[in-house]
Chain A
Amino acid sequence: MFRQSTFKTVLIALTLFLGVYAILPTLLGLERIRQATAFLPAFLVPKGAIKLGLDLQGGVHVMLEVDRAGLARDLVRQLQEDVRRVLRAERVAPTGGIVAQARGVSLRIADAAGRARILPKLQELAVPVTSAVLGNTGQRSLEVVDMGDGLIQLAITDAELNERIRRAVDQSIEIFRKRIDPEGVKEPAIQRQGLDRIVVQVPGARDSKEITDVLQPGKLEFRMVAEPGANPAEIETLQNVDEGGGTVAVERRVLVHGEDLTSAEPGFDQRSGEPIVNFRFNVRGAQAFAKATTENVGKPFAIILDNKVISAPRIITPITQGQGQISGRFTVERANQLAVLLRSGALPASFTLVEERTVGAGLGADSIAAASLASGVSAVVIAAFTVATYGVLGLIALAALLANLILIFAAMALIGSTLTLPGIAGIVLTMAMAVDSNVLIYERIREEQAAGRSAISALDTGFTRALATILDANITTFLAGAILYLVGTGPVRGFAVTLCIGIITTIFTAFTLTRIIVAAWYRWFRPKVVPI
């Protein structure tokens, strides 16, 4: 019998109602809907609106990658220190020092007794690598190998390096967030991608430089400028970006680190009116700075950001209050930026930009206009063609199509997905292919009727037989879409998402809604022959 249970009808009506409800925030603005539904229990308040992709609203997308070699160098430097400490405690001196390599250190200890004493101590440096994701990996951070001939090699394992990279990326994501959006208004999307990459998307940004400028490491150090005749092993020469340029020789020893800052605010120098950054140290920093400035009155010290000297003022009086200012011929903008950089702390690693996609707001607006026009025109064309071919049943198909569209947007709003230009193409394509499911049903009904069945019997068998085919045919497209989602990035993923959601809603509406409307239409008119 071609009958539908009331329960099923109510369920579908409810689904559609919820669908409309879920897209209200997208149509009318999330905030307005949140306010209007504030009296409802929390789970009934719509969660989100469909966001426009950067290709439609304009913005900057950059992908950054951890400088793996740089991070390895940092680890090697730290390892050198650790080994030196062990050797000092055991009073063993290596021949030729502790040699740094790309992924470890080596040292030669000719004395066999000393070597036997030192080896177990060095082994202790190798700790189990525990990962926040994987738990205990069962691997150690170091491989300590006695190469024979007095040579000991310590190599940093892949497990350790990867875990360090993972942690550096996690910390950097937080720091990036603070730096890019200090006021919390830009809604940037900052996400890890793979092990060592971060994708940063900032809607509305116009130039990737706005982003990349604040993604520098931000490592601040205060050191003394080297005095003539200082031990060459204890000084290094850094680029000077302050007035005068050139290079400056500074001591390797760091007086105070950037971590000891408690605040950094942009301001103006009271005398010159030049933009500066005012800062304040914590207790440890204040004490160290007071001691250093007291001992070195009259001598210049260097303020070093990311291994570049940004200014090298002379100490006029001891600074004991734990506060000071950084000047360096800044613009107002740069002083602001620097303050944010210093407040957010230094990045644990440096990053390289490996991909950029920036869309201007103008192009985005043009794309939206083009996409709206194309969707509108194709909707009209599809509708005209469907009604011309199937008459009243065509109208029913269009109703199903409309419901389908509502459900697609509702699903996108619920999973918080992003609408991109290819995504819109995906929806238009889905509309065309959703018509296909109705065509399959209607053609089957036509055939069954031609084979001599009564109207009601033709309708019933038509639906049942076509549905198996619809399912089979759509699963293959769904599989292709799912794979596209897995391998695609950015806008292409948007296309895959809409394609896959569209297939699910198409099957749903074909199985339920079309059938219910056709059944209702039949009960109402009781046609002897299906007009098809």
Chain B
Amino acid sequence: MKLLRIVPDNTKFGFMRFRRVSFPFSALASIVAVVAFLALGMNVGIDFKGGTVVELQSKAERADIARIRATAGTLDLGDVEVQEFGGPRDVLLRIGLQPGGDRAQAEVVARLRQVFAADYEFRKVEVVGPRVSQELVQNGTIGVLLAILVILVYLWFRYEWQFAVGAVIATMHDLVLTVGFYALTQLQFDQTSIAAILTIIGYSLNDTVVVYDRVRELLRKYKKLPMSDLLDLAMNSTLTRTVITAVTTILALIVLAIFGGEVIRGFCLAMLFGVLIGTYSSIFIAAPILIYLGVKVGDGVGVAQPAKA
């Protein structure tokens, strides 16, 4: 049987030369991401800003959005956003945080039910009070920072410090670009997005660690090779794996995004973006940065021995 070869055997691609392109590119992309975040902001969901989201499904053939908008306007709920969601029968209503604390939010749904329950099925109701949303913001932020810190400590413990710093720089790069992705696409940013970001961090580090493991191994093996040649060798010998894994994951995510339903689509899109840049950053950021962080050929001698055959 002829097997599929995504990456030809004995590929010798000069990855390290690309750092003259990839570093400025990443720097630029990061700036764009930060500017987009500051200028456009994120489409923050009710998880983080509080408020009410209701998904309605018309009992008739199609939902009358104009009428829903008009009816909702009479309820004195402030700005009510009404949009089609999925099919022609489905409508999503977003209602901002009501003044008057937690109790006032609970009232919103009761009033919506009064006017819409006759013609629409309430498919989903979410109400997040002002304090809960604040806590979710806090937890999300703590989670992302804690993840980076814990992983830094782990890598520091497992490798030389240069590797830990390199991995964290690459991770921050992925984090910034993902945030930029959310700002540019205006995908809703909610609790699931925190899950996406943490998974992206996990995936990107997974990739980086595989590459670093090989670098460390080669450092021990070749004492005379120039650093950039050594890194190239490491990249090329792990390239097939990097590509195959990325392709499998991307395939799975595309399928999930297409068939998995509206609820997890945003998550899958963010993950797709994350897997792409995570793979990119492992090869073009995390590895070449080792040159600048002062890892020298022969350093491998002092490195802790991994579990060996």
Q: In whole Å, how far is A393's beta carbon from the nearest beta carbon of chain B?
A: 9
The answer on a CB contact under 8 Å between A366 and B306 is no
Interface of chain A residues 479 through 506 with chain B (CB within 8 A): 479-481, 483-484, 486-492, 495-496, 499
Q: Does B256 contact A (CB under 8 A)?
A: yes
The answer on a CB contact under 8 Å between A435 and B109 is no
Q: Does B158 contact A (CB under 8 A)?
A: yes
Which chain A positions have C-beta within 8 A of B249?
429, 432-433, 436
The answer on a CB contact under 8 Å between B121 and A381 is no
Which chain A positions have C-beta within 8 A of B191?
488-492
The answer on a CB contact under 8 Å between A370 and B259 is yes
The answer on a CB contact under 8 Å between A422 and B267 is yes
Q: Does A431 contact B (CB under 8 A)?
A: yes
Q: Does B6 contact A (CB under 8 A)?
A: yes
Most buried by B among A359, A425, A489: A425
Q: Does B34 contact A (CB under 8 A)?
A: no
The answer on a CB contact under 8 Å between B202 and A447 is no
The answer on a CB contact under 8 Å between A422 and B206 is no
Contact partner, B251, options A212, A359, A385, Cβ 8 Å: A385
Inter-chain CA distance A443–B11, complex, in Å, is 14
Contact partner, B123, options A359, A388, A487, Cβ 8 Å: A359
Q: How many A-B residue pairs have CB under 8 A?
A: 248
Interface of chain A residues 410 through 464 with chain B (CB within 8 A): 421-422, 424-425, 428-429, 431-433, 435-436, 439-440, 443, 446-447, 450, 460-461, 464
The answer on a CB contact under 8 Å between B194 and A487 is yes
Closest chain B residue, CB of each to CB of A369: B261
Known contacts A366-B261, A385-B248, A447-B237: does B151 contact A476 (CB below 8 Å)? yes
Inter-chain CA distance A460–B166, complex, in Å, is 32
Closest chain A residue, CB of each to CB of B204: A476
The answer on a CB contact under 8 Å between B3 and A388 is yes
Known contacts A362-B121, A363-B123, A488-B143: does B252 contact A354 (CB below 8 Å)? no
Q: Does A149 contact B (CB under 8 A)?
A: no
Which chain A positions have C-beta within 8 A of B1?
391, 531
The answer on a CB contact under 8 Å between B199 and A429 is yes
Which chain A positions have C-beta within 8 A of B238?
443
Which chain B positions have C-beta within 8 A of A440?
210, 241
Which chain A positions have C-beta within 8 A of B147?
479-480, 483-484
Which chain B positions have C-beta within 8 A of A63?
132
Which chain A positions have C-beta within 8 A of B110?
209
Q: In whole Å, how far is B21's beta carbon from the nearest beta carbon of chain A?
A: 27
Which chain B positions have C-beta within 8 A of A389?
3-4, 6, 244
Which chain B positions have C-beta within 8 A of A87?
none
Q: Looking at chain B, what size class is its interface with the partner chain?
A: 35 or more
Which chain A positions have C-beta within 8 A of B109?
208, 356
Contact partner, B127, options A356, A425, A436, A487, Cβ 8 Å: A356
Inter-chain CA distance A207–B9, complex, in Å, is 60
Known contacts A359-B124, A360-B122, A388-B4: does B251 contact A443 (CB below 8 Å)? no
Which chain A positions have C-beta within 8 A of B251?
378, 381-382, 385, 432
Q: In whole Å, how far is B36's beta carbon from the nearest beta carbon of chain A?
A: 25
Closest chain A residue, CB of each to CB of B110: A209
Known contacts A360-B121, A429-B271, A464-B309: does B132 contact A354 (CB below 8 Å)? yes
Closest chain A residue, CB of each to CB of B54: A358
Q: Does B283 contact A (CB under 8 A)?
A: no
Contact partner, B198, options A371, A432, A450, A484, Cβ 8 Å: A484
The answer on a CB contact under 8 Å between A476 and B240 is no
The answer on a CB contact under 8 Å between A492 and B194 is yes
| 0/1 interface trace, chain B 237-266, chain A, CB 8 Å (1 if under) | 110110011011101110110111101100
Q: Does A357 contact B (CB under 8 A)?
A: yes
Q: Does A374 contact B (CB under 8 A)?
A: yes
Contact partner, B209, options A388, A472, A487, A491, Cβ 8 Å: A472
Interface of chain B residues 184 through 207 with chain A (CB within 8 A): 191-192, 194-195, 198-199, 201-203, 205-207
| 0/1 interface trace, chain B 128-155, chain A, CB 8 Å (1 if under) | 1101100010011011001100110011
Closest chain B residue, CB of each to CB of A209: B110
The answer on a CB contact under 8 Å between A479 and B143 is no
Inter-chain CA distance A431–B267, complex, in Å, is 17
Q: In whole Å, how far is A131's beta carbon from the nearest beta carbon of chain B?
A: 24
The answer on a CB contact under 8 Å between A436 and B199 is no
Inter-chain CA distance A495–B271, complex, in Å, is 13
The answer on a CB contact under 8 Å between B256 and A428 is yes
The answer on a CB contact under 8 Å between A433 and B127 is no
Known contacts A391-B1, A474-B206: does B192 contact A492 (CB below 8 Å)? yes
Q: Does A55 contact B (CB under 8 A)?
A: yes
Query: 24 A-B contacts, Cβ less than 8 Å apart?
Result: A355-B129, A356-B109, A358-B124, A362-B57, A381-B252, A389-B3, A421-B263, A422-B264, A425-B268, A435-B244, A435-B248, A436-B206, A460-B309, A469-B213, A473-B205, A476-B209, A479-B147, A480-B202, A484-B199, A487-B142, A488-B143, A488-B194, A491-B192, A499-B199
For the complex of A and B, the 7 pairs showing the least CB-CB separation, nearest first, are A370-B261, A487-B143, A477-B202, A480-B202, A464-B309, A374-B259, A378-B255
Chain B residues within CB distance 8 Å of chain A: 1, 3-4, 6, 9, 55, 57, 102-103, 105-106, 109-110, 113, 121-129, 131-132, 136, 139-140, 142-143, 146-147, 150-151, 154-155, 158, 191-192, 194-195, 198-199, 201-203, 205-207, 209-210, 213-214, 237-238, 240-241, 244-245, 247-249, 251-253, 255-256, 258-261, 263-264, 267-268, 271, 306-309
